[in-house]
Amino acid sequence: MEFKNNIYLPPMARESSIDGKITDALIDYYESMAKLGFGLIILEHAYVDIKGKASPKQMAIDENYDRENLIKIKDVIHKEEAKAFMQISHCGRLTRLDGEKFGPTKEDGVSELSVDQIKDIEDKFIEAGKRVKDMGFDGLEIHCAHGYLLNQFYSPLVNKRDDEYGGSLENRLRVLLEILKKMRRALGDFPIMVRLGACDYEEGGNTIDDAIKAVKVMEEYIDFIDISGGINGFMKHSDNDIGYFTKESKAIKENTKVKVLMTGGIKNKKEAEELISEGACHMVGIGRASLNKDFTLE
């Protein structure tokens, strides 16, 4: 896939949906971002299952998705010759909604997912992927970062299961891999990206070596890997003021055949281009800085 440049807008939750439906304000936001000149725009996370909805104003990609307005968002992005990916997610135990919470392992206030429930969630990811492709998006991103459900399974700090979905790195990745295999069968060569919380940044958690192994296992089924980190959410975890995850991203890039994306602390085009020239990644995301009124990619 070709992009008009190597700078992308990472997914940032705008909390501008009502009952999963898109508001005009959200369409206007993506139109304004597309006009800044990004080569790729990744939409904020959309829930594949109402039980995995993170917050009241998160948008949907479950069976009640807002097809008409999601297509409008895709169209305003394409109008500026940028590619449009949708990020799809299940937040697991992190839901802020009332009701039962689910995760890989039983803990206070959280029920352990059964194997049947895991399979059902996998199927919901696949159905969501079909919707994304059918609407004419250019690709999709599966959210496995920032403490969301697939990241919960990946992390040994959260996943304490003793069945085939817990224990070894291979087992902790099993849910994600099953989704990827099913997704690839269902979608053919449709571009698939994973946003990976590469390292947990806590004692006993996933390390760079684990992340490299994880990407090597996934690379047969994906086209892009989007590097982030932190089992307790996205935050600065290094001494780098520019490119928080540079060390992790570069190590992964050196050990995989898929294209590597990275965001975190990058404020302008010059910084982005420097990181790419240094071999940190193939594409650089500029998030919060893009919200500044004087931001430009010119």
Please identify which of the residues 148, 154, 165, 221 carries the catalytic annotation: 148
8 A C-beta contact, residue 52 and residue 153: no
Clarify whether 148 is annotated catalytic: yes
Amino acid identity, position 27: I
| Pairing of the two strands 110-112 and 59-60 | unpaired
Q: How many other C-beta atoms can be found within 10 angstroms of the C-beta atom of residue 247? A: 17
Amino acid identity, position 246: T
Tokens for 238, please give them: 């290094």
Length of the chain, in residues: 298
Distance CA(2)–CA(11), nearest Å, equals: 20
Q: How many other C-beta atoms can be found within 10 angstroms of the C-beta atom of residue 138? A: 20
* Residue 233: closest CA among 25, 45, 31: 45
Tokens for 142, please give them: 């599966």
* 197 three-state secondary structure: strand
Distance in angstroms between the alpha carbons of the first and the last residue of the chain: 23
CA distances from 197 to 78, 168, 194, 200, 201 (A): 29, 17, 10, 7, 10
Q: Which residues pair with 18 in a beta bridge?
A: 21
**b/e sequence 37-74, b meaning 16+ C-beta within 10 Å:** bbbbbbbbbbbbbebbbbeebbbbbbeebbeebbebbb
Distance CA(22)–CA(35), nearest Å, equals: 20
User: Known catalytic residues?
Assistant: 148
